[in-house]
Amino acid sequence: MSDSELAMLPVFLPLAGAALSLLAKALHGGAKARALEDSGAFIGLALPWAALAAMLPRVLAGGVSFTVSGWSGAIGIAQRFDGLTWLVDVLGLTGAGAAYLYSRGNGPKGPLFTTVYLIQASALAMTAATADLFNLFVCLEILGLASYVLVASSEKPGAFLAAFSYLAVSSAAMVFFLFGLFGFYRVTGTLSYEGIQAALVALPDGGGAIATMSTACLAAAIAIRVAVMPVYGWLPDAHALAPHAVSAILSGVLIKTPLFALGRLLGYLPSGQEAMALIGSAGVVTALAAVVVALSQKDAKRLLAYHSISQIGYVVAAWGLGAPAAMAAAFLHAFYHALFKGLLFLSVGTITDAAGTRNVYELRGAAGTLGKSGDRFRLVGVAYAVGALSIMALPPLNGFASKNAIGYLFKGGWRYWALFAAGACTVASFLKLSMIFLPARRGAPADAAGVAGSVPGLRIGGTMKASMLILASLCVATGLFADATTAAVSRLLGAPPPAGGAFTAANLLKALQTLALGAAVFGLAMSKPGKRLAAAIRGRPRSFAGLVMAFLGGLAVLAAALARFG
């Protein structure tokens, strides 16, 4: 099998699995249908690992560029399978595999869900590898369509509305993506990244105003999928109201893949570095502002959803620097975030289902609730603790390593202190969320199953526990061996070896300072004035029109800034 054929297996295998799952749907249940569905999931989520293992030597040698099925570069689908593609595929398969395993125990499940899930996995792999504009547009649309269906699969009225809001805003944004695509095609006569770069270099003005505006349209359209400020408003409802397994994959994988695809594209454009720097600055603001909003939340899953926005802000901040070392730090945090945030959505979702409430001010005695639902050894509570300590960046877990790697990039500047403040607010948020494990209040219902809103007969099964234990083990392992993981990622991305190490005295001292400041912020947040301020932040007006205006405003600012740099 040729390198190009191997490189396409992470795309084609999930599609083959989706076809089997769809066939299972036609059988209307039974043992054969279940066997087909399970086979499809295995083909789509397990076999691509073998393809990645086979491609690793070729990736380490520099990767491979090709057009699908050997078509001419002028009309074919251009692909680039390199270290970045390999790493994003690892990110996607890890998050998708763990979340799917959880769904087998707590839903959603069934051939139709598996089919859509595998289509999304295929689109993620294709997005990571694409090297032409039109194929990127197609991949983003497939990702969007699959996401809308998965968000709505909880069948809650709010979930349908959240999915529709995301669809409407995203569709409007993709119209501007098409404007950008047309602009580059009009100027250069090609859609491949390399062809666009070569044509713009040959032009006396580098494409002029059309190229500048086209860059802004493309960057702004993808930014809405990444959920940086000011175009993040669709995410909280979508992630909070989706089924827990879907929340984990959306937060851990989906919002990051378009970011790395955008980085590959902007690397070929004259004003690409300026666009990355502007979006990177927005990422720093996102990291701090979103965690403040998260701290004000009383709904446990909505708190986690705003933390997804905050943590992607860290990734975008590092990504915006554009340098290989910064890209390595950005991917590290993206990967680690997929592990600990997926773990948090699954563990917290399980706890709130068992308790029948998601209100962090009311829910208490979570450990006892878990025991009554079949978690004798409180494995879900342990998994939550690992995820919470990871996102709080406490040693020796993985978030400690990746957040310090990002902070090192901004040492001494305003970005460093903004991210430090965001880290302290993250500690405060999870101290607040962890109150659900405090002893139950007197007079609380003795049986969690009787609480309104609980999942009737919820039993925490083996696949649910296994998925959380896998993610928790990876959080611990990638933290303990952080230096080796960082070196491996740096090598795959062609970045210089990392300076120093994760567990330095300076980093350990910073962790203690962050913890102390976070505890102080938590105390303020739980005071009466703090709760009144939190209620005011939660009650701020939000609307669909506001989402659209935020997108248009962001696009205008980005275009004006790029024109100034140009």
- Rounded CA-CA distance 247/458 in Å is 19
**List of residues 6+ apart from 440 with CB closer than 8 A:** 364, 365, 368
pLDDT value at residue 443: 57
Cα separations in angstroms, 480 against 90, 95, 396 = 19, 20, 6
Are the C-beta atoms of 264 and 192 separated by less than 8 Å? Answer: no
CA angle 239-240-242, nearest 5°?
Answer: 65
Predicted pLDDT at 525: 92
Residues, the chain, total? 566
CA distance 135 to 67: 11
- Please state whether the predicted TM-score (pTM) of the whole model is above 0.85: yes
What is the per-residue pLDDT across 448-490, written as a single tens digit (0 to 9) for each?
Answer: 433 434 455 578 889 999 999 999 999 999 999 999 999 999 9
Per-residue confidence (pLDDT) for residue 86, from 0 to 100 = 96
pLDDT value, residue 454: 44
From the number of C-beta atoms within 10 Å of its C-beta (0-12, 13-18, 19+), residue 28 rates as exposed
DSSP state of 243: -
| pLDDT for position 467 | 96
Closest residue by Cα to residue 360 from 426, 310, 294, 312: 294
For the chain of 566 residues, list the mean pLDDT of each consecutive stretch of 10: 89 95 86 91 96 95 86 78 95 95 90 94 94 92 90 79 82 88 91 89 85 89 84 82 91 89 85 87 93 93 94 94 91 95 95 91 88 88 96 94 92 92 96 91 50 57 94 96 93 82 88 95 93 88 75 81 72
Rounded to 5°, the CA angle 309-336-391 comes to: 60
Q: Which residues contact 270 (CB under 8 A, 6 or more apart)?
A: 200, 201, 206, 207, 211, 566
Q: Can you give the residue ranges of every domain in the chain?
A: 271-526
SS3 132: strand
Answer whether 187's CB lies under 8 Å from 201's CB: no
In sequence order, which ranges of 320-397 are alpha helices (DSSP H)? 324-355, 366-372, 379-391
**Beta strands per DSSP E along 107-185:** none
For 78, the enclosing helix (H) or strand (E) is strand 78-81
Residue 261 half-sphere exposure toward CB, CA atoms < 13 A = 34
- Buried/exposed 312-350: b ≥16 CB within 10 Å, e otherwise: bbbbbbbbbbbeebbbbbbbbbbbbbbbbbbbbbbbbbb
